Structure 1
Amino acid sequence: MTDSTDPTRDWRDTVFLPKTDFPMKAGLAQKEPAILDRWARIGIYDRLREQRAGRERFILHDGPPYANGDIHMGHAMNKVLKDIIARSQSLMGKDAPYVPGWDCHGLPIEWKIEEAYRAKKKSKDEVPAAEFRAECREYAAKWVGVQAAQFERLGIAGDWANPYLTMNYASEAAIAGELLKFAMSGQLYRGAKPVMWSPVEKTALAEAEVEYEDVTSTQIDVAFEITHAPNAPELVGAHAVIWTTTPWTIPVNQALAYGQEIEYVLLSVTADTVGVGAAGDKRVNEVLAKAGLPFHTNRISKFLVAKDLTTSFADRINAAAKALDFGDVGAPSLQEYVDPYSPFDESIKGTALAGAIARHPMHHLGGFFAKPRPFLAGDFVTTDAGTGLVHMAPDHGEDDFALCKANGIDPVFAVTDDGKYRDDWAWLGGQGSVINQKFTGPEGPICEGLRAAGALLSAAPFQHSYPHSWRSKARVIFRCTPQWFIPMDRPATGARTPGSAADELPGFAAAAGFGAIVNPATSDNAPTLRELALDAIERTRWVPGRAQNRIRSMVEGRPDWVISRQRAWGVPIPLYVNRKTGDYLRDEAVNARILAAFEAGGADAWFAADHQALLGPDHDLADYEVVNDILDVWFDSGSTHVFTVEARYGEGVRADLYVEGSDQHRGWFQSSLLESCGTRGRAPYDAVLTHGFALDGNGRKMSKSLGNVVDPLKIIGESGADILRLWVAQTDYFEDVRIGKEVLAGTGDTYRKLRNTFRYLLGALDGFTDAERVDVAEMPALERYILSELTRLDAELRAAAEAFEFNRYTRALADFANDDLSAFFFDIRKDSLYCDAADSPKRRAYRTVLDTLFHALVRYAAPVLAFTAEEVWQARFPSEDGSVHFLEWPELPALPGDLPLGTEWADLRRLREAVTEAIEPLRREKVVRSSLEAEVTLPELPLRADDLAELFITSTVHAGGDGIAIARSEHHKCGRCWRLLPEVAEDGALCHRCEEVVK
């Protein structure tokens, strides 16, 4: 008996099993640092720049995070997405540099230094400004280093040796230079408008520095007695009622606003004390009077409110009265006595209130409070809530300010920077803070004062959304202060022309040392900043497309840009203001000296400057006020394209892409847009990608207080950065995304399948050389079909990468690896790989396709799985100075035109699935142990029987019958390939193919 017929022979040594040292267990947390070290050793980033020199450039400009703490999941998600995009563009053959950057100025960093002072019972004001700024610089530099290392650990490829920092001297000089461009073109003015103000941090805030939280405030109804009404004299003696949720603004009220088209009615209210007698009436009146409710028994009080709001108003004042303690006399009933009192044909149109005057509830204090409070027509007054009448405090509201300014009423600056009323204020002087709920609550001094004046109709809790400082988490207020603004609607030509009367600062500002606003000469054809920005938005690609509507609506409605801050750490506004005219100096020679000083010594040079030397011989310092306000940090970050993109790649060059979270439509996207449009007339970017926020596994915002923060550094330490990178790529990041144990478990499963695909390819290609390669035209149909599917995948991945849709990209790649390869192609061809002769055409064709797949898939995976792709590449092509990231998009072999249609193969694959499903019951019942023991009968055979048996991985396939029939094969099992075939004489003997191979 020969070996080939010996049923007891073990043939495993003759089978070509895959061989590789590539481990199934990834161990990424341990391997990735070594890969990073190797990349640093070979200078991979700089070498890639050299290799791509002269190619089409793709610039993804990095939005600067604050350098003030360890990175969080939002940072990780953002940076990984940017890296995937940059690597994919590099893969497509472009020069895709990435320059990381940091925002080093402003409140987030300054606040951290102040916190350290407070912990030592020390005030920032006790520290010299230069020392304080130096501490801020040192703090920011520390965290730049920490965050840079953490970002690098994520596998982010970039110019880490030369990042951009807003606090670099050259950067600070560039920022100052951009501000001076606005000044020279007349796109800058100093004026007083209500801005978001933080009483805790004592500074103005940008809208992007504000977040909204639900709070409980105090809502009050306040009665203002009408003293004059030329168009409706019957109103004299009645009370106009206003409703507000900011009681602290009543001490600075200066007018009342009404809607001209609103219908108003007089409500008559009295207290019904029937059945309690005169003593009861007296007791009720005492309680009502003490409560400040201006209605009593046996006396009708009249209140002017909008007709559509009478019910809600009546509900509030009745609730207030019923809450009082009337002792044993019983509570009065007010509801049934709230009736329209209407001598004016049942209603009073708003136009009848023109010229009417009321008096402030605290008029008895004299001075400011004794001045008449005019009724002013306001188109913003509605009947959505309240009373249809709005009290006007021009210090504390945009509509208030505009309406009062148009009627000659100026702000009074009663509230100081820490939220208290100034010491000389007649009512509540020196008291506050106005954001303190006890101070503004129903029992606080404001309500008590109104109550004592008989003007408080109701005071109750009111829940609503309210702005808070992003940094201190404290409530903010609208506060009118002198600030520097960039106008949104003023055409600019750069001419220096005095402002018109309409642009004069009001008297209070002139008294404070502010002069006329300098307005540039205007032209009917000169576009405004708003117009330029809106035009640029239309010319920019927004991903996803809906983001365009969001930023357009924000720019359409935004007010002038307040660019000044009353802080210490940042770039100063380097201007000189003429003490007589209020005009700021515009002199190119002075500007050049200022910028040279900034280049040499940074922003600190302004505070330590010899200002007469900067002004030069043509100007006398005695004639000028030196501006020491700090620039809004959003102006800093909005200028980064100047000292990063243009400084490195040439004047006029703009970024191909900006990528940040959706909150940056009102932040960096917008500040960059406005800065560039104001100085260059266009956007600084060609495209903008917006992603959502990272939430916990339950879809909640991450919060330390909730204990649901998912730390990216912990994930990297336990599972590796590639798991985090794959999670980012798999998510639909255009929306908010979730991350938690269950989500990461799914990511890990996807990773393992991809890793096993690479492991199989490496093992199956062991020893492969070009000599083994087969032309496509000579390949079996299955190999050509897989190549056609690879070509389809290639086009899908390229389209997804160009659309920045990496969830689509990753899903297509994973599905191809799992469904087309592992579960189909590899499964079918493992018999040929293991058992065919090494030089058999089919096996050679298979290995040729595997080689093509390897080169394609490792490239496709590299942008996402940066570390694993490198590990895979080095496992097959070890090289000290080589890298998968030097490679470009794969060139796939050309396919002949006679390939079977994909629909034909789709039918075959469906048939294969049906056969597999039909075999499964026999496997469960242990009739067959594997599909190789099954014999299949089909109604008709779409391919040769042997080809179908290979496709199904079964013993044999026959035609006949009406459906799919499965039976256990009666043939014997080949001892080498384990197929049950007619030619095998007995179990363990060899089939014809295996006999030939082992000879």
Structure 2
Amino acid sequence: MADDATTARDYRETVFLPDTPFPMRAGLPKKEPEILEGWAALSPKGLYGAIRSRRQADKAPLYVLHDGPPYANGAIHIGHALNKTLKDFVVRSRFALGYDVDYVPGWDCHGLPIEWKIEEKFRSQGRRKDEVPAEEFRRECRAYAGMWIEAQKTEFQRLGVLGDWWNRYATMDFSSEATIVAEFHKFLASGQLYRGSKPVMWSPVERTALADAEIEYHDHVSPTIWVKFPVVRDQKNTLGGAEIARKIIEEHGRGGPAPAPQEIAAANSLVGRASIVIWTTTPWTIPANRAIAFNPQVEYGLYRIDELEPTEGGVHWSSEGDLLILARKLAPEVFKNARVARWTELEILPAERIQSLECEHPLAQLTKDLKYKYDKVVELLPGDHVTDDAGTGFVHTAPGHGTDDYLIWLKTGHRDIPETVDADGAYYDHVPLFGGLKVLETEGKKVGKFGDANNKVIEALKEAGNLLARGRIEHSYPHSWRSKAPVIFRNTPQWFIRMDHAVDALGGKTLREVAVQSLADTAFHPEAGRNRIGAMVETRPDWLISRQRNWGTPLAMYVDKATGHPLNDPEVNARILDAIREGGADAWFTRPDSEFLGHHDPAQYEKITDILDVWFDSGCTHAFTIEGREDSHWPADLYLEGSDQHRGWFQSSLLEGSGTRGRAPYKAVLTHGFTMDENGEKMSKSKGNTIEPQAITKESGAEILRLWAAMVDYSEDQRIGKTILATTTDAYRKLRNTMRYLLGALAGFTEEERVTDYADFPPLEKYILHRLWELDGQVKAAYEAYRFSDVIRPLIEFCQGDLSALYFDVRRDSLYCDRPDALKRRAYRTVLDEVFNRLTIWLAPLASFTMEEAWVTRFPEAGPVALRVIPERVDAWRNDAEAARWAKVETVTSVVMGALEVERREKRIGSALEAAPVVHVADPELLTAFEGLDAAEVFRTSAATLVAGDAGAFRIEDVKGVSVDPNKAEGKKCARSWRILPEVGTDPRYPELSLRDADAVAYWDATHG
């Protein structure tokens, strides 16, 4: 009967196959918006509000992530997506760890990029910026920023980012602007604020000062010149003893009359005979020269040009016999550039001799008869910043156009800082020879290009006879990170916060000292960030906080015209703050001074109309976002931004908090790198290598972007592209398949089925429970340390290895074919339930959409998975012995699988169930590992025999002492489980089945009668 195909029973209905509505194909672009709609409906603040309410009801500890504000200007890019996704990982993982999490997203709204967009808008209407009333201009800026806040908010929410979007902050909110001004007033009251005239980075194109954080460096080709400064005074000239004097005596001839002492002195003097040579890449700064810097530790020499190289046209800018003073190490390179064929070193000049010299300006002779002259004496000043690595060993010093120049000028007692270039990048009219010439073009098609100044200065040096050589060099040059135009150092009055001024408000410490201590008290992820920001803080100059623009928070204060001191009247400041809270920053610019000054005479005070540096704005966000709120706390637990914010938001927040509260507004700082294309190149629209997050979301779903962000090492620069996203999608598919299998295998699982006594679990279940115990510790530790890749990667490996390749495969036969009340099947489903419960919450912070879909598929009434907390670790599941056992079992299994693969390839068997291998094991420990196990089930064969020894036919080189005889299984094939066993047919009720399957079908028949 069993062989009669027409009468044999179809046993498929008796097999307990997995069953789930969870689809294999995710359809994420369609499914994710549905999930987002469900989250939004959970509370007035959506899923975020629902979780916070649950945690607050449970009196959970509070965790505060303070959002670094993106700029409200344009659609989000991949860097934004990475940043906000990482923040969402933090928020969701802290919720999963049992915290109540405060996260208020915010935006930076003031500054040049928005101003530029509005300027473009008015230009398109035929209106120049200076023709537009300032109030109208700022109103347009505010509307533009507001539009992009809403657009970006929608894009961030589409990525699944949780936060209090309903109470978002913006630096342009009236309340925010009032708080920023209040923070500014604190620096005013403490004495840390001052107005100084010093060279700052200036953008002529944008007509404003820029801070270091607003500068980026690009390769730029600059003209280089070697310039002679004639010596006009030699205070250390001595009689005799100098090599040059000896040579003069010899030239009188042997036996002739000896030269007179005054002749020797004249010969030894450098006045009118020698020139000091400088090298610079900014010829336009020569008119501002006031000194030459040298280093006493560098060796200098006096050189005579003996012979010039032939040149085309015979043009040279030096002559044979010229005497030049150079660093000895650099002299050969200088002469090479000056096309000097032969020279003589006449004398080594000690440092005191160098310092005794004075020079005239190289353009002095051209202006003798002009109203404005280059008639200042050029001093020699010692400075450690001078090196003999390049140039001439001397540094042209223009105090109005360089930090080192400015500092060395002040150090020697000088206070007059020359002003040579105006706000538009042109020489002032009083600059001899060059008045009105442009250093940088600010209008027309050449905007941002260097003007005629460099060439005109070089031509004038030629005419004066003081150009030694010229060339070109490609080097890194500062540019505005907004306009991308070159910037210049320019002397201009600005407002600064002192870094090294001890104040009572800081306990007698300086802002630098407090900031350095704050960094020591801060945790950094990665730790390298500490040194990076620390080095910047330890060496940074005073904080430049003023800008000459319209769209921003004002330095709302008055200055006494008679004394130059800011007015620090609490009543005046209070009226200013009230007005800004009511009408925003516009109130400062539009309301009459008398409304603020009260009894003070407006005629005696200057109203400051500069705006605050936008970094000061964002550095204050802690003061109006987290401080003082009942459901938040100060300082924040974490600030998280890109590594460029060591010089930006991290630093401005550090200085603001340290200067007003004596510490940083954060306990920890996390930084991520930049996102590059697949080749490691910076993304650029002109290159066509950008990856837009909107496109990924539309084509593949936000989950793929989230999984990519979870898998990369965000602490370094990371890459993204089609190939990488394809790999990410493949990893996602494997995760999804795992969840689908779990849901199908757990269909109908009830508490009555659960195995509750650990002792009843078979060895394989104990091993999987041990792995859950192990992973629980790893996952929690990784989330605590923000190491998200150390969560996702081990879990993917667990799903692919321990689960799919081992556990699911070994237990598939038991799941499908054992009777439902069989202990092994119940144990299997019990462990699968534990696996599902943990995987869904472990992965929920990262693969949020998929874990939500999986959780709700199984428990539609339980609420979102994000409401859950990661379960307590079950220490009773730890079983190191079982872990060691299965490592040995897998070693033996790998050889068996190798043997069966050969059999399949040679077509001697079709599937592993046709085999009954004999496994020879020489190692007693490996053999012992199989005690209590069904070897056939482990090998996925119908039968298996383990014997001591090593006499098998098949072996693997990497595994010693294990060999296999891949014998074919004997017996009949079970019509239900397909195992080939001698016992098939011995149960007369079901002659086509094995005894186990016959018992299971009998159970099925009894319960489905």
TM-score, L = length of structure 2: 0.90
Which residue, out of 261, 265, 271, partners 2:297?
261
Q: Which residue is equivalent to 1:577?
A: 559
Change in Cα spacing, 1:931 to 1:3, as seen in structure 2 (3 Å) is closer
Q: Return the match for 1:300 from 321, 329, 347.
A: 321
- Spell out the pairing of 1:404-803 with structure 2 (5 A cutoff): 404-406=409-411, 407-434=413-440, 444-493=455-504, 526-617=508-599, 619-649=600-630, 653-775=634-756, 776-803=758-785
In structure 2, stretches of 5+ residues that fail to align are 238-267, 922-926, 951-962, 1003-1009
Residues 731/151 of structure 1: CA separation in 2 closer, same or farther (3 Å cut): same
- Residues 791 and 8 (structure 1), Cα distance of their counterparts in 2 relative to 1, 3 Å cut: same
Q: For residues 272 and 731 of structure 1, do their structure 2 counterparts lie closer, same or farther at Cα, with a shift above 3 Å needed?
A: closer
1:10 aligned counterpart, secondary structure: coil
- Letter paired with 1:49: R
Matched, 1:834 2:837: no
Asked if the contact 1:784–1:895 (Cα under 8 Å) also holds between the matched residues in 2, the reply is no
State the one-letter code of the partner of 2:646: H
Aligned length: 933
Q: Tell me the residue number matched to 2:260.
A: none
Q: Which amino acid aligns with 2:978?
A: W
Cα gap change, 1:824/1:680 in structure 2, threshold over 3 Å: closer, same or farther? same
Question: CA separation in 2, counterparts of 1:720 and 1:919?
Answer: 40
Deviation at 1:123, TM superposition (A): 2.3
CA distance in 2, matches of 1:670, 1:439: 32
Q: How many angstroms apart in 1 are the aligned matches of 2:729 and 2:995? A: 44
Partner amino acid, structure 2, of 1:808: D
TM-superposed deviation, 1:946: 6.3
Aligned residue in 2 for 1:23: 23
Deviations 1:735-766 (A, max 9, x none): 00000011001100110000000000111111
> Partners in 1 of 2:498 and 2:454 — Cα distance?
42
Percent identity between matched residues is 50
Give RMSD over aligned pairs: 2.2
Instruction: Name 1:338's counterpart in structure 2.
Output: 343
Cα 1:473–1:899 change in 2 (3 A) is closer
Residue aligned with 2:781, SS: helix
Secondary structure in 1 matching 2:709? helix
- Encode CA deviations 1:711-741: one digit per residue, 9 max, x unaligned: 0100000000000000000001100000001
Partner of 1:48: 51
Q: Give the conservation status (yes or no) of the 8 Å contact 1:248–1:434.
A: no
Shift of 1:805: 0.4
The match for 2:332 is 311
Question: Which amino acid is the alignment partner of residue 22 of structure 1?
Answer: F
Alpha carbons of 1:14 and 1:448: their partners in 2 closer, same or farther (altered >3 Å)? same
Task: Give 1:905 deviation, angstroms.
Answer: 1.6
Counterpart residue number, 2:146: 141
Q: What is residue 10 of structure 1 aligned with on the other side?
A: 10
Kindly provide the CA deviation profile for residues 224-253 of structure 1, in whole angstroms up to 9, marking residues without a partner as x.
111101114622121111000111111111
Structure 1 residue runs without a partner (length 5+): 319-333, 495-522
Residue 647 of structure 1, CA deviation = 3.7
Report how far residue 305 of structure 1 moved.
Answer: 0.8
State whether structure 2 residue 134 is matched by structure 1 residue 152: no
Q: Give the structure 2 partner of residue 112 of structure 1.
A: 117
* Residue 442 of structure 1: how far off its partner (Å): 11
Q: Conserved in 1, the CA contact under 8 Å of 2:440 and 2:449?
A: no
Give the conservation status (yes or no) of the 8 Å contact 1:852–1:892: no
Amino acid of the structure 1 residue aligned with 2:354: L
Check conservation: 2:437, 2:452, Cα contact below 8 A.
no
**TM superposition shift of 1:413:** 1.4
Q: Which residue in 1 is equivalent to 2:850?
A: 868
The amino acid that maps onto 1:447 is I
Compared with structure 1, are the counterparts of its residues 168 and 897 closer, same or farther at alpha carbon in structure 2 (3 Å cutoff)?
Answer: closer
Q: CA deviation at 1:270?
A: 4.6
Provide the C-alpha distance between the structure 2 equivalents of 1:625 and 1:440, rounded to a whole number of angstroms: 35
Check the 8 A contact 1:224/1:358 in 2, yes or no.
Answer: yes
Name the residue aligned to 1:195.
Answer: 200
| 1:504 equivalent in structure 2 | none
The equivalences for 1:37-76 within 5 A come to 37-42=37-42, 43-53=46-56, 54-76=59-81
Matches within 5 A, 1:164-183: 164-183=169-188
Distance change in 2, residues 1:924/1:779 (3 Å): same
Amino acid at match of 1:997: A
1:350 aligned onto 2:351 = yes
Q: 1:448 to 1:55 in 2, by over 3 A?
A: same
**Residues 535-585 of structure 1: CA distance to partner in whole angstroms, max 9, x if unpaired?**
111110000111111111111111110000000000000111111111111
Q: Report deviation, 1:914.
A: 2.1
Q: What does 1:114-133 correspond to in 2, within 5 Å?
A: 114-133=119-138
Distance 1:649 1:684, change over 3 A: farther
Mapped partners of 2:309, 2:891: distance in 1: 87
Question: Against the structure 1 CA distance between its residues 877 and 819, is the aligned structure 2 distance closer, same or farther, given a 3 Å change threshold?
Answer: same
Structure 1 Cα separation of the partners of residues 666 and 652 of structure 2? 12
Does 2:396 match 1:365?
no
Of 955, 964, 989, the match for 2:942: 955
Partner SS, residue 724 of structure 1: helix
* 2:374 counterpart SS class: helix
Secondary structure in structure 2 of the residue aligned to 1:467: strand
Q: Is the 8 A contact 1:945 1:958 kept in 2?
A: no
Q: Whole-Å Cα distance in 1 between the matches of residues 382 and 639 of structure 2?
A: 44
Q: 1:896 to 1:549 in 2, by over 3 A?
A: closer
Q: Aligned AA for 1:455?
A: N
Q: Which gives a bigger RCO, structure 1 or 2 (Cα 8 Å, sep 6+)?
A: 1
Q: Show the counterpart of 2:396.
A: 391
Shift of 1:918: 1.9
Q: Aligned partners of 1:805 and 1:193: how far apart in 2?
A: 45
CA pair 983-5 structure 1, distance change in 2 beyond 3 A: farther
Q: Equivalents in 1 of 2:387, 2:2: separation in Å?
A: 102
Structure 1 116/341 Cα, relative in aligned 2: closer, same or farther at 3 Å?
farther
Is the deviation greater in 793-802 or in 111-120?
111-120
- Map Cα deviations across residues 107-136 of structure 1 (whole Å, 9 max, x no partner): 121122223334445421121111111111
Counterpart among 69, 80, 87 of residue 82 in structure 1? 87
Task: Name whichever of 454-463 and 136-145 sits farther off.
Answer: 454-463
Shift of the alpha carbon at 1:189? Answer: 0.5
Contact 1:219 1:246 in 2 (8 A): yes
Q: Which whole-Å deviations, capped at 9, do the CAs of 1:474-500 have from their partners, x for residues lacking one?
A: 101111110000111111125xxxxxx
1:588: Cα distance to partner?
1.5
1:259/1:896 Cα in 2 relative to 1: closer, same or farther (>3 Å)?
closer
Q: Report deviation, 1:900.
A: 3.4
Alpha-carbon contact 1:975-1:988 (below 8 Å) kept: no
SS in 2 for 1:685: coil
Deviations 1:863-892 (A, max 9, x none): 00111111111111113x821111111245
Specify the alignment match of 2:242 in structure 1. Answer: none
Partners of 1:862 and 1:935 in 2: how far apart? 43
- How far is 1:610 from its partner? 2.4
